[in-house]
Amino acid sequence: MQELQVDNHRCTLCGKCISACFYDALEMDDRKLLSHDTCTLCGMCIDICPEAALAISKIKMNDMNKAEWNGILVYVEHDQGEIHPITYELIGKALELAKVVCYKVYCLFIGYRIAEKAKILMHYEVEQVFMYDHASFKYYKEDIYTNAFEDCIKNHLKPSIVLIGGTEIGKSLAPSIATRFHTGLTADCTELKIRENSDLVQIRPAFGGNIMAQIITENHRPQFATVRYKVMSEAEPQLQLRDNLLQCSIEDEKLKSKIEILGVNDLAKTESISDAKILVVVGQGFQRKEDLSLAQELADLLNGKVASSRTLVEKGWMPYEKQIGLSGKTVKPEIIITCGVSGSIQFISGMKGSKNIIAINTDINSPIFKIAHQPICGDLYEILPRLIKKIKSGSGKD
Ligand SMILES: Cc1cc2nc3c(=O)[nH]c(=O)nc-3n(C[C@H](O)[C@H](O)[C@H](O)COP(=O)(O)OP(=O)(O)OC[C@H]3O[C@@H](n4cnc5c(N)ncnc54)[C@H](O)[C@@H]3O)c2cc1C
């Protein structure tokens, strides 16, 4: 672990470093220069100091007492209080990990007028829900959400592990809070395991999906990880209601954000492919963009959505938000019908959890057939029109 060190014998209190710091991490107090936890070790102050009074030094972490850090904290992702389903996936995984090392699972819910929604969490096997409910948290603002997160970890719980959804908000909040504790963060994990000594094994694809990297934060706590949506199984709610809500607060100073929201425009809500129950997936087997209407027609008949492999996104035939795979979205639908998709490792890593995989491909040796429950070896230009016709006629038989 590293930290900013001030040599107060050299420092002349000129204040140049204070003005240079983007993060307000330096302060003069009692005729001394002090650095705060908001320091990101960017080094700007070191470069500007005329007296070379600042330096980044390594702190020996051999003395880190892992036993002081206990439990798993799950960040509750939400939109105006509506809890995102990834939260239940994180709780599910946290409960599984907690059993191995006899930890308890906790939740952190930051927002405005969230008390009613927080009650939903009382149905889960969660020891305590730390709730920061304040008008300043009405909209997500990275700086003050991080302040509340930091307060929770410093004043209420010293968690060994913190799990955050790999969503847009999670990807902004996780690095911000991990930096405050100068500890490790692994982004976009697709699997998590735990060792008996409480080290979290954070597993994610690396090198274009050719290997699964296992990342460990051996010398620091907490261990932060963001987790991909739709890769873990949701926790089951219980009938028993727990009295586990704890209202928390932070100082007014920490509620002051540098971010000003000038206006909010609601985006038209479209169902993400990650939430669809039925998906028809198009791949390079399609010869012309116009032919994709075949897949759309089938998806409409089945009340499903059309998704894509990366090749058609790269061609500009499909939008990026429809891409499945390592560099796209992870999906876990009831039924997935892949049409002209070969089944590269990068594609499969984003859909292998699907319940029923139906694959249409002309090549009997294509890798998609290794994971397909219903392999159909044939030309999509013959099979899709026949399928559509049969569904329309209501027969379903060939
Ligand atoms: C770092 C990195 C990240 C990546 N991320 C992703 C990702 O997130 N998602 C992703 O999809 N890819 C990703 N890729 C690309 C990936 O490696 C493949 O290139 C891609 O998945 C192939 O797409 P495809 O299956 O549509 O095309 P192809 O591999 O070209 O397969 C086309 C298939 O269609 C079949 N076919 C042809 N004609 C017909 C027909 N008439 N009827 C039926 N079948 C037919 C062929 O037999 C073939 O199997 C990534 C690559 C890298 C390096």
| Residue 39 Cα to ligand 1 middle (Å) | 44
The answer to whether 356 and 373 have CB atoms below 8 angstroms apart is yes
Judged against a pLDDT cut of 70, whether residue 393 lies above it is answered with: yes
pLDDT at position 280 is 98
Q: What is the per-residue DSSP string for 44-93?
A: HHHHH-TT--EEEEEPP-TT--GGGS-SEEEE--EETTEE-THHHHHHHH
- Is 310 near ligand 1, meaning CB less than 6 Å away? yes
| Residue 352 Cα to ligand 1 middle (Å) | 15
- Is 342 near ligand 1, meaning CB less than 6 Å away? yes
Are 243 and 133 contained in the same domain?
yes
Judged against a pLDDT cut of 70, whether residue 397 lies above it is answered with: no
| Residue 378 Cα to ligand 1 middle (Å) | 17
CA end-to-end span of the chain: 66
Mean pLDDT value of segment 325-336:
93
Q: How many domains does the chain have?
A: 3
Strand 82-83 and strand 78-79: pairing?
A: antiparallel
The answer to whether 367 and 343 have CB atoms below 8 angstroms apart is yes
DSSP state of 185: E
Total Cβ atoms within 10 A of residue 116: 8
Judged against a pLDDT cut of 90, whether residue 395 lies above it is answered with: no
In the structure, what pLDDT confidence band is assigned to residue 263 with cuts at 50, 70 and 90?
very high
pLDDT at position 351 is 95
- Residue 263 domain flag: no
Q: How many Å apart are CA 394 and CA 281, to the nearest integer?
A: 23
Examine the fold and report which residue of 214, 229, 255 is the final residue of a domain before the chain moves on: 255
Are 166 and 249 contained in the same domain?
yes
| Residue 67 Cα to ligand 1 middle (Å) | 47
- Residue 230 domain flag: yes
Are 198 and 313 contained in the same domain?
no
- Is 205 near ligand 1, meaning CB less than 6 Å away? no
Q: How many Å apart are CA 398 and CA 379, to the nearest integer?
A: 16
Q: How many Å apart are CA 351 and CA 339, to the nearest integer?
A: 14
pLDDT at position 22 is 87
- Residue 317 domain flag: yes
- Residue 267 domain flag: no
- Residue 104 domain flag: yes
Peptide linkage before 222 cis (omega within 30 of 0):
yes
Mean pLDDT of the chain: 93
- Is 208 near ligand 1, meaning CB less than 6 Å away? yes
- Residue 295 domain flag: yes
Which ligand 1 atom lies nearest to the CA of residue 368? Answer: 49
Q: Over pLDDT 90: what percentage of the chain?
A: 78
Which ligand 1 atom lies nearest to the CA of residue 350? Answer: 8
- Residue 139 DSSP SS3: coil
- pLDDT digit string, tens, across residues 26-57: 988 878 888 887 888 888 999 999 999 999 88
Is 349 assigned a ligand-binding role in the annotation? no
Length of the chain: 398
pLDDT at position 208 is 66
- pLDDT digit string, tens, across residues 57-108: 866 555 678 889 999 999 999 999 999 999 999 999 999 999 999 999 999 9
The answer to whether 159 and 138 have CB atoms below 8 angstroms apart is no
pLDDT at position 270 is 76
Are 233 and 334 contained in the same domain?
no
Are 251 and 345 contained in the same domain?
no
Higher pLDDT, 132 or 4: 132
Q: How many Å apart are CA 239 and CA 226, to the nearest integer?
A: 29
- Residue 31 domain flag: yes
pLDDT at position 269 is 73
pLDDT at position 240 is 86
| Residue 241 Cα to ligand 1 middle (Å) | 48
Are 35 and 92 contained in the same domain?
no
Is 288 assigned a ligand-binding role in the annotation? no
| Residue whose CA lies nearest to ligand 1 atom number 11 | 309
- pLDDT digit string, tens, across residues 343-390: 998 999 899 999 999 999 999 999 999 999 999 999 999 999 999 999
- pLDDT digit string, tens, across residues 205-249: 887 667 889 999 998 999 999 999 999 999 999 988 899 999 999
Examine the fold and report which residue of 255, 283, 299 is the final residue of a domain before the chain moves on: 255
pLDDT at position 29 is 80
Which ligand 1 atom lies nearest to the CA of residue 308? Answer: 11
- Residue 3 DSSP SS3: strand
User: What's the pTM?
Assistant: 0.78
Range of the domain at 111: 66-255
Mean pLDDT value of segment 12-32:
88
| Residue 277 Cα to ligand 1 middle (Å) | 22
- Is 107 near ligand 1, meaning CB less than 6 Å away? no
Mean pLDDT value of segment 173-198:
94
Are 287 and 382 contained in the same domain?
yes
Mutational pocket test of ligand 1: of 326, 358, 384, 386, the residue with most ligand atoms within 8 Å of the beta carbon: 326
| Residue whose CA lies nearest to ligand 1 atom number 39 | 285
Judged against a pLDDT cut of 60, whether residue 294 lies above it is answered with: yes
Which ligand 1 atom lies nearest to the CA of residue 345? Answer: 17
pLDDT at position 23 is 86
Contacts 24+ apart (CB under 8 A), 55-59: 55/4, 55/5, 55/7, 56/2, 56/3, 56/4, 56/5, 57/2, 57/3, 57/5, 58/1, 58/2, 59/1, 59/2, 59/3
In the structure, what pLDDT confidence band is assigned to residue 111 with cuts at 50, 70 and 90?
very high
Mutational pocket test of ligand 1: of 312, 331, 344, the residue with most ligand atoms within 8 Å of the beta carbon: 344
φ/ψ (deg, to 5) at 389: -60, -45
pLDDT at position 60 is 56
What ipTM goes with this model? Answer: 0.99
Examine the fold and report which residue of 10, 39, 58 is the final residue of a domain before the chain moves on: 58
What residue has token string 């001030």?
A: 6
- Is 325 near ligand 1, meaning CB less than 6 Å away? yes
pLDDT at position 78 is 96
pLDDT at position 82 is 96
Mutational pocket test of ligand 1: of 361, 370, 380, the residue with most ligand atoms within 8 Å of the beta carbon: 361
| Residue 215 Cα to ligand 1 middle (Å) | 29
